[in-house]
Amino acid sequence: MDIDLQRKMDRILGSVICRFLSLFRLRRSVHAPAPKVERVLVILLSEMGSLVLAYPMFQRIKKLYPKASVHVLLFEKNREVLDILKVVPPQHVLTLDSTSIARLARDSLSVLVRLRRAKFDVAVDCELFSRISSIFSFLSGARVRVGFHPHCQEGLYRGDFINRPVLYNPYQHISQQFVTLVEAIDSTTVPKAKRLVTPEPPETPAVHFGPEEIRETARRLHAYAPDIDGRRLVLIHPSGGLLPIRAWPLEYYCRLSRQLLQEGYAVGVIGMGQDKGLAEQIQSYCQDPHCVDLTGYTKSVRELMLLFHCASLLVTNDGGPGQFSAMTPIPAIILFGPETPTLYGRLDPKVVVFFSSLSCAPCITAYNHRKSPCDGDNVCLKRIDPDRVLAKAMEILQAGEGTQPADLPEEAARRQKVVGIEERGRHGQESRVRENPTYPS
């Protein structure tokens, strides 16, 4: 389903439904104590990368409510990531097909029947300000409904039936805010869960593959792209996905790729099948057989993660691949612009972030349903000089010269942790490059 259509339906139809359901809310329930927590529903419909960042939240639920049965409602397209994380049993996952209005309506009715039968005690709505998730939270029948609430902010109406309203904080990493949602279940403060947030990053999930599976992946890769033999592989992901405004200029990826090739590395362009045109443009620019098209090569997130074990570095726009790589040994360079690493940066120390602090950045926020007002001229990303990205890439690659990516997992795990730097432009803070920028001191 088109993302603009989803936004329109959520704004118009969702607001009407929320106002209607609010007629049935119980005012006293806002201060009522939480019941015994035996069944918890987590609603997390959004992007795949958010599931990785929600991992600490699932760990917190298990710690606070070890006997509770946890279930998750999400879009079908994100199911694979949840299965990889293994935070809930497969039979506790409910999915919605969002590819069309008809399928979404059909699945919604089916899921609502299952939710009512399950008799949940708590519904934790992890979506920021979408209405559909709050509607599911109310209709689930859960007595405790936790979710982000605008409080004193204007607009973003999601109904008056969230009885554990949590203040959305755009200055805190989203993984910490997800944990706050769990803390709000039994909170009596106003606003809910006035907890101390420590600067240490939460635990990062890790996915472990067997040595033979990694070797087989390397064998298949070299059979598919024999020109990379004898060279260390750098993966680049030039696509912006559903939000093209997040993409670093293709010209910059071309320049970076050609320079890496000249330094003796192989370059693999990754992405979905529909990104093949981007790969062809990069190959045409580089005119080098060691630049290979891997768009559409991996058929699942699991295959993509295995591919990461065969490469020495990932350079990517903000998006899913950058988050998935956190669960593997590969170091990464992630290019932020319309969104901020303060909220969505990766949680592990193997990452370097480039982010330009323009007056208008970030422009994709929870307050505009991630619809940027930018005219397409994403200066925030254009100001990230490819020569500086190359210098950082070479620093990472040279520091990891002794490690062969397709070797055993324990050898791959020895890769270095990048020491970040901060740079200032002529007119003040132009851009930042730092190690694990999510939790600055």
Q: What is the pLDDT of residues 315-331, one digit of tens each?
A: 999 999 999 999 999 99
pLDDT-derived band at 246, boundaries 50, 70, 90: very high
Q: Tell me the C-alpha distance between 178 and 283, whole Å.
A: 41
**Beta pairing partners, 353:** 334, 434
The more confidently predicted of residues 89 and 423 is 89
> Of 35-39, 166-170, 262-266, 405-409, which has the strongest mean pLDDT?
262-266
Q: Tell me the C-alpha distance between 179 and 57, whole Å.
A: 5
Q: Which of 423, 253, 287 is nearest to 434 (CA)?
A: 423
CB-based contacts of 113: which residues, under 8 Å, 6+ apart? none
Phi and psi (nearest 5°) for 240? -95, 0
Q: Tell me the C-alpha distance between 314 and 322, whole Å.
A: 8
Here the tokens at position 363 are: 């422009």
Report, as an integer, the average pLDDT of 219-241: 95
Global pTM? 0.85
**pLDDT of 26 strictly over 60:** no
What letter would DSSP give residue 145? E
* Chain Cα centroid distance, residue 342: 13
Report, as an integer, the average pLDDT of 219-244: 94
Phi and psi (nearest 5°) for 225? -130, 75
Beta strand pairing status for 313-317 and 421-425?
unpaired
**pLDDT of 155 strictly over 70:** no
The more confidently predicted of residues 35 and 118 is 118
Q: Which of 251, 235, 255, 237 is nearest to 382 (CA)?
A: 251
The more confidently predicted of residues 202 and 277 is 277
For residues 354, 358, 362, 363, the Cα torsion angle rounded to the nearest 10 degrees is -140
- What pLDDT is recorded for position 405? 62
Report, as an integer, the average pLDDT of 283-309: 97
- What pLDDT is recorded for position 432? 45
For the chain, give the mean pLDDT: 86
- What pLDDT is recorded for position 142? 94
Report, as an integer, the average pLDDT of 207-225: 95
- What pLDDT is recorded for position 32? 64
Q: Is 283 helix (H, G, I), strand (E, B) or coil?
A: helix
pLDDT tens digits for 338-386? 999 988 888 778 899 999 889 999 998 888 878 889 998 999 999 999 9
Report, as an integer, the average pLDDT of 52-58: 94
- What pLDDT is recorded for position 434? 42
Report, as an integer, the average pLDDT of 231-238: 98
Q: Tell me the C-alpha distance between 108 and 99, whole Å.
A: 13
Report, as an integer, the average pLDDT of 85-114: 94
Report, as an integer, the average pLDDT of 104-128: 95
Q: Tell me the C-alpha distance between 376 and 245, whole Å.
A: 6
- What pLDDT is recorded for position 425? 31
Phi and psi (nearest 5°) for 211? -55, -40
- What pLDDT is recorded for position 422? 30
- Locate the DSSP E strands across 76-197: 93-96, 122-125, 144-149, 164-167
pLDDT-derived band at 64, boundaries 50, 70, 90: very high
The more confidently predicted of residues 403 and 243 is 243
- Name the amino acid, one letter, at 256: L
**pLDDT of 436 strictly over 50:** no
Burial class of residue 36 in the structure, from the number of CB atoms within 10 Å of its CB (0-12 exposed, 13-18 middle, 19+ buried): exposed
Q: Tell me the C-alpha distance between 390 and 408, whole Å.
A: 28
Here the tokens at position 404 are: 């062969």
CB-based contacts of 337: which residues, under 8 Å, 6+ apart? 245, 246, 248, 318, 355, 356, 361, 362, 378, 380, 381, 384
Q: Are 390 and 348 in contact (CB under 8 A)?
A: no
Q: Which of 136, 130, 60, 147 is nearest to 94 (CA)?
A: 136
Beta strand pairing status for 351-356 and 428-435?
antiparallel
- Taken in order of first residue, the domains within the chain and their CATH numbers are 3-186 (3.40.50.2000), 211-435 (3.40.50.2000)
CB neighbourhood size of 318 (10 A): 30
Q: What b/e readout covers 368-380, taking b as 16+ CB neighbours within 10 angstroms?
A: ebbebebeeebeb
- What pLDDT is recorded for position 201? 66
- What pLDDT is recorded for position 259? 98
- What pLDDT is recorded for position 410? 38
Give the largest CA-CA distance in the chain. Answer: 69
- What pLDDT is recorded for position 402? 55
- What pLDDT is recorded for position 403? 56
- HSE-up of 169 (CA within 13 Å, CB side)? 20
- What pLDDT is recorded for position 371? 86
pLDDT tens digits for 127-154? 988 899 999 999 999 999 999 988 887 7
